Chain A
Amino acid sequence: MTMATMNDALAGAHGKGHKLGRDLAGLAVILGLAVVGYLLFPNNLALLTRMTAIALLVLSLDLVTGYCGVATLGHAALFGTGAYASGIAAVHFGITDPLLMLACGILGGAVAGLVCGVVILRAHGLPQLVLTIALIHLFHEFANKASSWTGGSDGLAGIAPDPLLGHFEFDLWGRTAYVLGIILLAVVFALLRLVVRSPFGMLCRGVKEDPIRIRAMGASPKLALMKMYVISGAVAGAGGALNAISTQVVGLDSLSFTLSAESLVMLVLGGTGSLFGALTGTIVFMFFEDIVSAANPFHWLTMVGALLIAVVLFAPKGLYGTLAGLAARRREARR
């Protein structure tokens, strides 16, 4: 009993140092993987940059689904809005500085997060799920119809960002975009680690477990979820903007149900409720996609479906969650 208590107390006292260590380790892993990716696939930086942008979308989805318990099939609405906001700023308003475009994307995503949050948080359970699906279709239809602004089904082309910081041109090989993406991902990751561990992050975990208890504490679950939706929108918007800057085109597929569902698959594949899980899921899924769709594009959707069923049946905590659980159990056994 006393031993266990000691361990618990130590875990508590050392929690902070331990977590800081994990933050740094996380950043080191991101940067390390980025360098490895650069060295291994110097001709395929576009894929790696897209992976980074999607990783931002999946991180953003993890905030509302993993940390707050809102199941959504419409999260690409935030990503796509960020992409269009950044693209429209460049094409129609001449804002071609990449950092300003990024800011437009973040703002657009945050606004979309606010709008989606207001609608989605009105209902619970099945009606809530229906709202998320209806919203992504609505955004998609809207972007399709507003073709003078968005280019409709042809996509919004002609985005020509200035050199980054006035020096680094967006080259044909996508090196600048890649570096920008990795730095953006690292910064967002570090910020989100702060947020999920803060009092606010703790409040959100409470909302996920029992909103009635949270109300009895005098806090508003809805307000907490709204805030998280706006943050989530900003993160997804950053991802969308990165995609717009790097590919220099925004297509309707960035506002699609399929992208929403795929981002959910990536999150669950990696493991919900953990930022590392979100990253793991994105990387594994997108490499998988690259290989399978190159080999046999016809069966891509079948493979995704089978993958999803397999994860639900055999690894409900996701790849990272399962591995982390195993590691924790081994550590406990050694004590």
Chain B
Amino acid sequence: MSAIFEVRNLKRSFGGLAVTNDVSLAMAPGDRIALIGPNGAGKTTFVNLVTGNLTPDSGDVLIGGESVTRIDAIGRVRRGLVRSFQVTRLFQEMTPAEHVALAVLQRDGRAGRMFGHFLAMPEVMAEVAELLGKLGLSELMHRRVSKIAYGQQRLLEIAVALALKPKVLLLDEPAAGVPQSDTGRIEQALADLPADLAVLMIEHDMDLVFRFARRVIVLAAGTIIFDGSPSEVTKDARVREAYLGSYANAGHAA
């Protein structure tokens, strides 16, 4: 079993309430997993535990077989666990080219260099142009982020994550807040993700989940209640109970 990313018996409680209760999962390169669950299921806490922004009470997080439980968020990124944000976090005064170049330079350990300019580094610029080209952002390369559309900012968010050459990519609702007309572009970008990358997507939009994921994990009240193929998830009795029990109107999910 060659898991690139693994979570073992992760537990965390706040004031006696177990928000993440004995969660385990393993991912292999190339996996496309969607993590879903009703509001309050503990998805955000799970993301924070995995990325290192919260410390678990017990349990382990492993990247490529190495335990990173005691390593901080920055160290985990450097080991190949990269996340995107539910609400884009981009530098409003900087351009897409600068974003991607900074990520590329950081990945190569050159972001601390105090001379030269990335526009004059052909190998960096080649990668920047390629990545932005793939995501259809070439034309906006040198425009300030504050002046580009939100859908394009979401694509840039993905570009920055990819520029870090992750082994595991955590996508936190990659299409959130994007107008319907632009979601096609994002879905295309998700379909074009590198084949050997392990992707864990947290998502509400079930249409997107069914098109993207080859495996679905359902989290409810801090525990995994389902782990299987997308075709089976809607038939599972516990999933129906978790959603319909608390959200009688969530018909599309059942």
Q: Which residues of A contact B (CB under 8 A)?
A: 1, 5, 8-9, 11-13, 15-16, 19, 194-195, 197-203, 205-206, 209-210, 212-213, 215-220, 224, 227
Checking A8, A200, A203, A224 against B139 with a beta-carbon cut-off of 8 angstroms, the contacting residue is A8
Contact present for A217 and B141 (CB under 8 Å): no
Which residues of A are found within 8 Å of B131, using beta-carbon distances?
A: none
Residues of B in contact with A, size category: 35 or more
A9 to B133, CA, bound (A): 13
Q: In the bound complex, do residue B114 and residue A195 qualify as a contact, i.e. CB atoms below 8 Å apart? A: yes
Q: Determine, out of B19-27, B31-39, B75-83, B207-215, the stretch whose residues face the partner at the interface.
A: B75-83
Choice from A19, A209, A218 contacting B93 with Cβ under 8 Å = A209
Distance A99 CA – B118 CA, assembled complex (angstroms): 34
A163 CA / B87 CA spacing, docked (Å) = 61
CA distance A185 to B90 in the complex (A): 35
Residues from chain A with a CB closer than 8 A to the CB of B94 are 202, 205-206, 209
Complex partner residue of A200 from B83, B101, B112, B119, CB under 8 angstroms: B112
Q: Which residues from 67 to 120 on chain B have a C-beta closer than 8 Å to any C-beta of chain A?
A: 73-74, 77-78, 82-83, 85, 89-94, 97-98, 101-103, 105-107, 110-120
Q: Contact: A216 with B77, CB < 8 Å?
A: yes
Query: A213–B77 Cα gap in the complex (Å)?
Result: 12
User: Within 8 Å CB of A227, what residues of B?
Assistant: 112
Residues of B within 8 A of A12 (CB): 97, 119, 141-142
Q: Is B83's CB under 8 angstroms from A213's CB?
A: no
| Chain A nearest CB, measured from B2 CB (Å) | 24
Known: A8-B143, A213-B89, A217-B103. A199 touches B74 (CB 8 A): no
Compute how far the CA of A212 lies from the CA of B89 in the bound complex, rounded to whole angstroms: 8
Out of A195, A206, A215, A218, name the residue touching B91 (CB < 8 Å). A206
Given contacts A210-B91, A218-B106, contact A202 B98 (CB under 8 A): yes
Chain A residues near B92: list those with CB within 8 A: 209
B233 close to A (CB within 8 Å): no
On chain A, the residues within 8 Å of B112 by CB distance are 199-200, 203, 224, 227
Which A residue's beta carbon lies closest to that of B140? A8
**Chain B residues near A19 (CB, 8 Å)?**
117
